[in-house]
């Protein structure tokens, strides 16, 4: 048991500086990974491939493809549902990728507000 307060096994000064450097390195890695993920595109389809949506990691819709046979003037509701499903699934894929990649960096620590 340590005679002094603080964390066991951690001396004064040098270890705190080392810890600060490690934290700074982690912050830089997280920033780089977040930028990488924000630039990535995520794709999802619905209606058996009739509608395809692409979003960025920033959750911005960048592409929406609708096959002509999906357009039925008598059933616009179905087309709208397919569009919503494809967009929401692409956003979900982006969210899951962000959580997975950032979780790898943080070792599963919950760090609210960072991503």
For the chain, the domains span 14-106
Percent of the chain with pLDDT over 90: 48
What is the C-alpha separation between 84 and 10, in angstroms, rounded? Answer: 53
CATH homologous superfamily of domain 14-106? Nucleoid-associated protein YbaB-like domain (3.30.1310.10)
- Asked if residue 1 has pLDDT above 50, the reply is no
What the block records as the tokens of 8 is: 């066991």
Inform me whether the pLDDT recorded for 3 exceeds 60. no
pLDDT in tens, 48-90: 999 999 999 999 999 999 999 999 999 999 999 999 999 999 9
Q: Quick check: 34 pLDDT over 70? A: yes
Helices (H), 3-113: 14-39, 76-106
């Amino acid at each position: 048991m340590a005679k002094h307060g603080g964390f066991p096994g951690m001396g004064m000064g040098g270890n705190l500086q080392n810890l600060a450097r490690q934290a700074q390195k982690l912050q830089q890695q997280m920033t780089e990974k977040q930028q990488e993920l924000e630039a990535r595109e995520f794709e999802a389809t619905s209606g058996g491939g009739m509608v395809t949506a692409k979003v960025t990691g920033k959750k911005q819709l960048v592409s929406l493809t609708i096959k002509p046979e999906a357009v039925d003037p008598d059933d616009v509701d179905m087309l709208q549902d397919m569009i919503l499903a494809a967009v929401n699934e692409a956003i979900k894929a982006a969210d899951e990728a962000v959580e997975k990649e950032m979780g790898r960096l943080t070792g599963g620590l919950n760090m609210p507000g960072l991503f």
